[in-house]
Amino acid sequence: DRQTLVAVLQFLRRSNLRESEEILRREARLLGDDLGAAALSPTGTGLLGTAGGDAESAGSDALLSRLLLYANAFAVGGGVVVEDQPDVSAVLSAYNQQGDPTLYEEYYSGLKHFIECSLDCHRAELSQLFYPLFVHMYLELVYNQHESEAKSFFERFHGDQECYYQDDLRVLSSLTKKEHMKGNETMLDFRTSKFVLRISRDSYQLLKRHLQEKQNNQIWNIVQEHLYIDIFDGMPRSKQQIDAMVGSLAGEAKREANKAKVFFGLLKEPEFDVPLDDEDEEGENEEGKPKKKKPKKDSVGSKSKKQDPNAPPQNRIPLPELKDSDKLDKVMNMKEAARRVRLGPECLPSICFYTFLNAYQGLTAVDITDDSSMIVGGFADSTVRVWSVTPKKLRSVKTAADLSLIDKESDDVLERIMDEKTASELKILYGHSGPVYGTSFSPDRNYLLSCSEDGTVRLWSLQTFTCLVGYKGHNYPVWDTQFSPYGYYFVSGGHDRVARLWATDHYQPLRIFAGHLADVTCTRFHPNSNYIATGSADRTVRLWDVLNGNCVRIFTGHKGPIHSLAFSPNGRFLATGATDGRVLLWDIGHGLMVGELKGHTDTIYALRFSRDGEILASGSMDNTVRLWDAVKAFEDLETDDFTTATGHINLPENSQDLLLGTYMTKSTPVVHLHFTRRNLLLAAGAYSSQ
Amino acid sequence: LGRVRAAELSGAFPASQVMAQILKDMGITEYEPRVINQMLEFAYRYVTTILEDAKIYSSHAKKSSVDADDVRLAIQCRTDQSFTSPPPRDFLLDIARQKNQTPLPLIKPYSGPRLPPDRYCLTAPNYRLKSLQKKVSSSAGRITVPRLSVGAVSSRPSTPTLGTPSAQAVSVSTKVGTPVSLTGQRFTVQIPSSQAAVKSATPTTPTVQNVLINPSLIGPKNILITTNMVSSQNTSNESNPLKRKHEDDDDYDNL
């Protein structure tokens, strides 16, 4: 409400209703210390100093800008992040017009000339200004209905932009009128948010000195208005370094955005007795002693009695308790883990590919259970089909009539309640009214989630193969959904640019993660279930804290919408894949990019780490599966103070060394990857005859 | 099937050539040939709708001919109606802030399948059986089920795990006339007295009850409530998988 008050004040001032303005100001008791602080801020003095050009418009512009600053100061004082400011900026931007629209081309070409003539070391950094300035100035012209100027501005300068912005430019070229912008939320958000640039202090001084000259103050105003320049002390970055990090719709991430502490460690596994049974083929147990027939403790949990400082406290977020069936599952998991193949560069996994034939329905989503017993496919004809991967057929619970006939006291009552007559390898689930874009099995294999273009997320029971709940919240297509590794919670992300955290027993979301500028295309839980990673069409990946909904990390660097995310099993690293064909590796703790895997030539739709994190598998639309050496990729990480302070990265060009193998399919794009508990790689895709 | 490169498409009609050009400008290079027809149809329908609306607005304003303002107004109205866009960012940030302030709710242990209240689930029966005959019994604490001879309809008798099959009739509260037919056996349900108290709180209607009002007490749902009621009061645990399955019985269509 403070923001709206400021906006109203500004409107009154603009309409020259001085008395009303004074009365409102007095009544709201707005001004005071906050104003004083804002006036002293360096950017404030910078702005007030520039009063050249057309006196009247510049005067009101300066005033408007000052008010914006005050609004920002209020917001900061109120404990709200400056970013969440769009109330005021959206309202004010309707009235705000920087400089003379007919001269925009002059401003831009002037700046372009200056940057091109600057020293080599500064040029790369200052060239980052081109794209955001171009888009913002163009949008200003369109929003203020200077159509012909906008058109000629676009014609003249769109060719100068970097190649990876081409998609954005194409969208821009179709926006020629203010009304066109109304429907495009992404562009509206872009207009009201500040594009973040990271520039070294030297380059920034150079720029500032040039722009504060009298004839350039208009473009200086524009720069101040739309760009947030995050200054760092140190060497200016090279073009290569910059190119690795830029590409997102919001610029790069401010350093503060990646400074929050993230608990990336894993939760402790509960200790319980593991009964050894006779069929166990292990010759020796772990200590190397001959097998003893007595239950041994779960050694995984008891390894370190101390709390891992990087792991979240056990009760940081409420998690469901372990049921007996879950404990049995864990025992099975550990038995399988003992038989797991140790992967590495010398020992690559075998890959078993499940091809969906005759999927003229359009395969849009695939998931496989953790124990690899069932595979589900979501299709464009709105069906969800579940297959059994093992010879064991899919059975549903008998009808109540039949249930009444069984002997409830028998030992195998759990088998008797299953209906043999309708057992089949395939079960089809009908219910959605649009293509199914995401599917996810629950860890206990009792439930299945599916999300669809109809805006709902549906929970299906895998015991009766019927739909239990439809979660409505997104009113627009939901692109991805996933169960938490502990069950009970699930996350969904969609076209409305937010990701939502749900619990199966609440019909409304528990958390809403808002902040992306464009659709949320991919959502994944961290192995400790305390954080959620979201990849978006605005080419950023954000990490959110489940406890309070805050965005704790922003990763930029992809040049296209992100379609796949994978956390490493130890929880420290994140791998992301996008339409640009690159896989980027991120260190969550430090918030830095630590690797780039080049090789794919088309969108990467599937990413998966092997069970112990030694191999990263990626599957793409270019019909290949590639295996990368994850151990080597993460091994020489130095926690260099310089690196972490400035965020500089020096990525080695080692994609070729890390690539362990490329496996082609017969014109089948790879949609899903899954490592079984024994480290066999399963892949899935639909055969397409082109 | 049939995805064709744009170059191969030769528009016989100038309109389809224009449409192909538009698609190319938007960066779409591969599409089925029917897409052009669909786009042309859409464009035609959209333009005619707008122009018709504009004509109405202009005649309402008593103007002699349709001008740009009318068209603009027509577009605006139609956009708000048919082409909705997601909420703006400030609104999203606002509701996110509100939602994220409430702490995460604690999880009740041992509560069976964790589903929202029945009202928000899709587990209620979506059919209702016609009753031919109603038998009303006034025994306290028992459920009466009127006997029907409707064809092949089979019922879901109440919790088989709880009671032992006996020759006695299962009673549904007379307040809700549940038209459920039974197959061979009938069961006694031992209902703790507190459950009867709960049941008396439900609205009383002697006639056949609308499924929606009291889904919990009608036929299939019988199981749901009784299971929950009893299990919440019983200290003895049935095995969890069984409990879960009974609740999921509800939707199973055996007709």
> Which domains are present in chain A?
100-252 (1.25.40.500), 364-635+653-685 (2.130.10.10)
* Chain B interface disruption, residue of A403, A406, A517, most B CBs within 10 A: A403
Q: Select from A311, A312, A261, A254 the least CA-distant residue to A555.
A: A254
Q: Does B96 touch chain A (CB under 8 A)?
A: yes
Q: Which residues from B are below 8 Å from A468, CB to CB?
A: 115, 121-123, 248, 251
Q: Which residues from A are below 8 Å from B72, CB to CB?
A: 179
Determine, for residues A464 and B107 on separate chains, whether the beta-carbon distance falls below 8 Å. no
Chain A nearest-CA distance from B158, in A, is 9
| Cβ–Cβ < 8 Å for A100, A65 | no
Chain B nearest-CA distance from A146, in A, is 17
Alpha carbons A16 and A391: distance in angstroms, whole number: 80
pLDDT one-digit tens code per residue, A420-471:
888 889 999 999 999 999 999 999 999 999 999 999 999 999 999 999 999 9
Determine, for residues B160 and A404 on separate chains, whether the beta-carbon distance falls below 8 Å. yes
| Cβ–Cβ < 8 Å for A26, A35 | no
Chain A nearest-CA distance from B253, in A, is 8
Q: How confident is the model at residue A242 (pLDDT cuts 50, 70, 90)?
A: confident
Q: How confident is the model at residue A248 (pLDDT cuts 50, 70, 90)?
A: confident
Q: Does B152 touch chain A (CB under 8 A)?
A: no
Greater pLDDT, A91 or B14: B14
Q: Where along chain B do its domains lie?
A: 15-89
Q: What angle do CA A406, A409, A415 make, to 5 degrees?
A: 55
Chain B nearest-CA distance from A634, in A, is 34
Length of chain B as a residue count: 255
Greater pLDDT, A462 or B171: A462
Q: What is the predicted pLDDT for the residue at B154?
A: 40
With a CB-CB cutoff of 8 Å, which residues 73-92 of chain B face chain A? 75-76, 79, 83-90, 92
DSSP letter assigned to residue A622: T
Quick one: tokens of B162? Answer: 């709880």
Residue found under tokens 């562009």: A187
User: Is beta strand A351-356 parallel, antiparallel or unpaired with respect to A681-686?
Assistant: parallel
ipTM of the complex: 0.76
| Cβ–Cβ < 8 Å for A321, B114 | no
Confidence check: pLDDT of B220 > 80: no
Q: What is the predicted pLDDT for the residue at A628?
A: 95
Q: Which residues from A are below 8 Å from B123, CB to CB?
A: 466, 468-469
**Least confident stretch, A91-95, A167-171, A473-477, A509-513:** A91-95
Which CATH code is given to the segment(s) B15-89?
1.10.20.10
| Cβ–Cβ < 8 Å for A572, A588 | yes
Q: What is the mean pLDDT of chain A?
A: 82
Alpha carbons A398 and A386: distance in angstroms, whole number: 18
Confidence check: pLDDT of B188 > 50: no
Q: Does A403 touch chain B (CB under 8 A)?
A: yes
pLDDT one-digit tens code per residue, A215-241:
777 788 888 888 898 888 888 888 888
| Cβ–Cβ < 8 Å for A93, A143 | yes
pLDDT one-digit tens code per residue, A94-144:
445 556 777 888 888 888 888 888 888 888 888 888 898 899 888 888 888
Q: Which residues from A are below 8 Å from B110, CB to CB?
A: 321
Rg, chain B, Cα only: 31
Q: Tell me what the mean pLDDT of segment A69-75 comes to.
A: 46
Alpha carbons A31 and A563: distance in angstroms, whole number: 47
Q: What is the predicted pLDDT for the residue at A690?
A: 65
Confidence check: pLDDT of A332 > 50: yes
* Chain A interface disruption, residue of B69, B75, B90, B181, most A CBs within 10 A: B90
In chain B, % of residues over pLDDT 90: 20
With a CB-CB cutoff of 8 Å, which residues 112-151 of chain B face chain A? 113-117, 120-123
pTM score, whole prediction = 0.73
Q: What is the predicted pLDDT for the residue at B181?
A: 40
Chain A nearest-CA distance from B159, in A, is 8
Chain A nearest-CA distance from B104, in A, is 7
Confidence check: pLDDT of B148 > 60: no
